[in-house]
Amino acid sequence: MKILFYVNLVVIILSFLGCRNNSPVEKVSNVFERVKNETVFNLVKTKQRQINGLNILDFKNEFNNNENLVFYSKSIIVLDKSREIEFRSSSNTPFAIFVNGLPQFVQPKQRKFKFNEIAYDMFVFQDKFMLNFKKGKNTLLVKTAGGLKPKIFIRESAKPGTELKVKFGEWNFCKTNKTGNEKLVELNNNLQNLNWQKHKNLLQYSIEKPEERTYKREAYNEWTYSNGAAMFGLMNIYQYNGDDRIFNYVKQYCDFTLSSYGLLKDDYYENNSLRCADYRMFRKSMLDDAGAAVLPFVSIYLKTKDDKYLPIIEEMSDYVVNGQVRLKDRTFCRPEPVKMTVWADDLFMSVPLLLRIAKIEKDTAFVEDAVHQIVNIHNYLWDEKAQLHKHAWFNNEKKQSAVYWSRANGWIIWAITDALNYIRKKNKNYKRIMNIYRKIIDGLIKYQDSKGLWHQVLNNTKSFEETSSSAMFTLAIASGVNNGWLPERYRSYAVKGWEGVSSKVSANGIVKDICRGTGIGYDEEFYMKRKRFPNDPRGLGAVFSCAVEVEKMIKRNKTKILE
């Protein structure tokens, strides 16, 4: 044991000497500078981008006058063979669908419009019906009797991720006056001679992005769980060293979102811009849309106590507590890839927020909900033999998913590590959670490779070394050493982990080998082939937080050495 102690001591000393002129936090500060310089706090108008295959017929946006009118819209569909195809629709108005002049579906009611995107490529509509098409060219025509702001959504039914059979041509619109005996299932004999107009090219609000940027996808100030986690990580640096540049940037991030809220809400609901800037804030169909995304607002509020941040915090926490789907035992779940699927990701998407809301509201019910999620999600996903978590639990089939995805395990241990700083020792489940934490750490260290990193598929060394999960595991180990949850001998795993993570961070502030966003895969190949994007915010928050915990550990051990 003495030999092991001195070996660890030498590792710490060498590590400290090696990073004395470039400490972990200093190294990731270059990443922060790059992110800050590639953030533009400005909204711009761009061509409206829509959900794949969703046809939006909003006659209010096509015509100014809606009263006492009949509206028509039509599109051309070309098929390689005759087909019967299932469709879904939602509307607030009676309407009929004609294919090649024949009525095939009628929705006769004036009603409240209902449409929900419950997950990517998964929707809840009001109607389901079949349409018959011939081989070759088909004309699909929709007729509605108007009314106040008539709107119809139509989409082919399809399993998520599958290719749609029908490709709609450009929509054209016209209007006529109502007659006294107007019937929904009859067409005007003079339709071809009416004044048809092309679908208006509508615009939506988007967040401006610089032409030259490292991360090519969403803007860094878009409302996403990944950006929320990245800002959360930056606030961990600020809380450690008081760097006002970081605080001011995260505050600007939050203030920009608040100032844009009303404009974007109208764009989303009134203009049907379902992919406008910050659309996930209004969609709120999964914990990704709320729980982690709002964390920087919570951090800024706890620092400033400025009440202007409370409405959005309350809106998102209400969704997490009351809106998210749960199993019968109250465990958070999702409708994807099948109904009632428990995701490892959702522990981080919920628990850090719940515990901070408990502090704001002074309500222990939020703490108990967080504890409940930790215990249950761990139990559903833990594999005792491998000492790792699977990515998901399929509740309907009562079985775990197939693969030990690294970041799924990372979300779990980061959430639990964070929770141990908030759950009081007198809580009846504190020791249980501490035991879960230690069990997870002991499982993870077995899979750390010689470079200090962990692989995309944790038990498959042929998969790539993944940065975000390696940072999550390292921060969890370092935090355990710093807080006395783990014995001192675990320092070497954290030091080695930082060496691996640090090797993925370039001097000019680029973090590589961060796995892109990932749903539940059914085999290893799905995870092995996932793309990696430099400076993907899905990993930046963990890298920032990891640097803080490792630097705390290094400084702590330097003090011990000097003594």
What are the tens digits of pLDDT across the range 379-409? 999 999 999 999 999 999 999 999 999 999 9
User: Could you tell me the strand order of the sheet in which 127-133 lies?
Assistant: 55-58, 151-156, 83-91, 127-133
- Selection from 416, 428, 353 nearest residue 381 by Cα: 416
Q: Provide the 3-class DSSP secondary structure of residue 168.
A: strand
Q: What is the DSSP string of 383-405?
A: ETTTTEE-SEEETTTTEE-S--B
Our CA dihedral for 327, 330, 336, 337, rounded to 10 degrees, sits at: -60
Instruction: Identify the pLDDT of residue 388.
Output: 98
- Contact 155/55 with Cβ under 8 angstroms? yes
Do residues 93 and 147 touch, judged by C-beta distance below 8 A?
A: yes
Q: Is the pLDDT of residue 13 over 80?
A: no
The answer to whether residues 35 and 80 belong to one domain is no
Residues 136 and 263 in one domain: no
562 — pLDDT class (breaks 50, 70, 90): very low
**Can you tell me whether residue 186 is helix, strand or coil?**
coil
Q: Tell me the average pLDDT across 350-364.
A: 97
The neighbour count for residue 134, using CB atoms within 10 Å, is 12
Q: What is the CATH number of the domain that holds 322?
A: 1.50.10.10
On whether the CB atoms of residues 82 and 251 are closer than 8 A, the answer is: no
Q: Give the residue from 161, 179, 200 where a domain finishes.
A: 200
Going from the C-alpha of 159 to that of each of 123, 274, 326, 336, the distances in angstroms are 10, 20, 22, 11
CATH of the domain at 145: 2.60.120
Q: What is the rounded average pLDDT for all residues in the chain?
A: 93
Q: Is 60 exceeded by the pLDDT of residue 2?
A: no
DSSP-derived letter for residue 321 is I
**pLDDT the model gives residue 66:** 65
Confidence tier at 145 by pLDDT (50, 70, 90): confident
pLDDT tens digit sequence for 199-247: 888 999 999 999 999 999 999 999 999 999 999 999 999 999 999 999 9
279/406 same-domain check:
yes
Report yes or no: 250 and 299 within 8 Å, Cβ to Cβ: yes
Residues 147 and 231 in one domain: no
Q: Which of 178, 200, 222 finishes a domain? A: 200
Task: Tell me what the mean pLDDT of segment 326-337 comes to.
Answer: 97
Domain that holds residue 184: 55-200
Q: What is the pLDDT of residue 190?
A: 83
Same domain for 296 and 212: yes
Segment 258-281 mean pLDDT: 97
pLDDT score of 18 more than 50: no
Same domain, residue pair 230 and 177:
no
Q: What is the mean pLDDT of residues 180-197?
A: 85
The tally of domains found in the chain comes to: 2
CA 216 – CA 9 distance, rounded (Å): 42
Name the H helices within 174-327. 225-241, 244-269, 279-283, 295-304, 310-318
Q: Return the pLDDT at 557.
A: 72
Same domain, 36 and 62: no
% of the chain residues with pLDDT over 90:
87
pLDDT of residue 69: 86
SS3 content of the chain, % helix, strand, coil (to 5): 45, 20, 35
| CA 283/CA 118 separation, integer angstroms | 8
- The whole-number pLDDT of residue 156 equals 97
**pLDDT tens, position by position, 95-112:** 999 999 999 999 999 999
- Distance of alpha carbon 545 from alpha carbon 523, whole angstroms: 31
* Dist CA 494 CA 482 (whole Å): 11
Hey, what are 32's tokens?
Answer: 């922060």
- Longest C-alpha distance within the chain, in Å? 97
Q: Kindly state whether residues 67 and 8 are assigned to the same domain.
A: no
Tokens of 4: 């092991």
Same domain, 285 and 392: yes
Instruction: Give the Cα separation of 52 and 506 in Å (integer).
Output: 37
> Where is the domain boundary, 146, 180, 200?
200
Structure confidence at residue 563 (pLDDT): 32
DSSP H/E element including 106: strand 102-107
Q: Are residues 188 and 227 in the same domain?
A: no
Q: How confident is the model at residue 15 (pLDDT cuts 50, 70, 90)?
A: very low
Question: Strand order in 399-400's β-sheet?
Answer: 341-343, 392-394, 399-400
Phi and psi dihedrals of 128, rounded to 5? -140, 130
**SS3 labels along 11-41:** HHHHHHHHCCCCCHHHHHHHHHHHHHHCCCC
Q: Read off the pLDDT band of 65 (50, 70, 90).
A: low
Quick one: 193 and 222 in the same domain?
A: no
Kindly state whether residues 36 and 175 are assigned to the same domain: no
